[in-house]
Chains A and B, each alone.
Chain A
Amino acid sequence: RKEVEQDPGPFNVPEGATVAFNCTYSNSASQSFFWYRQDCRKEPKLLMSVYSSGNEDGRFTAQLNRASQYISLLIRDSKLSDSATYLCVVITGTASKLTFGTGTRLQVTL
């Protein structure tokens, strides 16, 4: 079983739609969680950290469910510019190395 799993998509949604991605992780000792965004052929960039109580940044909301070992990302009012691959990232233990999911591709259309 992969340490971090994501539905690869693609998710094709119209502009203005709400879309949600889930990501599951296998190690219950995982302690830090993030969503990164990667545009085609570019480097990944941090979108947002995921906190236990859930957190929001504008149109983006991240949630953590430790009992079920998954994190989620909700995007409201999708924009064309949201089209990208969204990477779920987990840090486990005292090491700082990031473990990535394979990413979920989002395509927002007119």
Chain B
Amino acid sequence: DAEITQSPRHKITETGRQVTLACHQTWNHNNMFWYRQDLGHGLRLIHYSYGVQDTNKGEVSDGYSVSRSNTEDLPLTLESAASSQTSVYFCASSDGDSLNAEAFFGQGTRLTVV
């Protein structure tokens, strides 16, 4: 069965360190998204991609970067981790051919920056 997986599921890192969160999907979806979820804010879009070599900034992109070198993967990098980036991160993918396409989410990565 097709799926979308995130790794690691939990991560503790120190302020100032570079951290990369992995997202891998086997749906062959063109669209991939990274969200963060914080109490009181819901899910907020960090970066998204509509295909290989395409990346776009979301509403909370400062301090984050992504790259899309193949269809399956969209890794999220925190250039220099800050305590404000402590959050739960969700990756999602959807079929790019339909605006009504269902988005499938990974199980989330709980990141703590100390």
A and B found bound together:
yes
Query: Which of the candidate stretches B63-71, B72-80, B102-110 sits at the interface with the other chain?
Result: B102-110
Q: What residue in chain B is nearest A101 (Cβ atoms)?
A: B42
Q: Take A43-B90, A96-B31, A96-B50 as given contacts and tell me if A87 and B100 are in contact as well, using a CB distance cutoff of 8 Å.
A: no
Verify B99–A91 contact, CB threshold 8 A: yes
Verify A100–B42 contact, CB threshold 8 A: yes
* Set of chain B residues within 8 Å of A101, measured between Cβ atoms: 42
Interface size on B, residues (CB 8 A): 25
Q: Take A96-B31, A97-B48 as given contacts and tell me if A87 and B42 are in contact as well, using a CB distance cutoff of 8 Å.
A: yes
Verify A43–B105 contact, CB threshold 8 A: yes
Verify A96–B107 contact, CB threshold 8 A: no
A54 CA to B58 CA, complexed, in Å: 30
Verify B90–A44 contact, CB threshold 8 A: yes
Verify B105–A44 contact, CB threshold 8 A: yes
Verify B96–A103 contact, CB threshold 8 A: no
A91 CA to B31 CA, complexed, in Å: 13
Verify B42–A42 contact, CB threshold 8 A: no
B112 to chain A, nearest CB (A): 14
A110 CA to B101 CA, complexed, in Å: 36
The 5 lowest CB-CB distance pairs between A and B, nearest first, are: A102-B42, A43-B105, A100-B43, A32-B99, A46-B102
Interface residues of A (CB under 8 A from B): 31-32, 41-46, 49, 87, 91, 94, 96-103
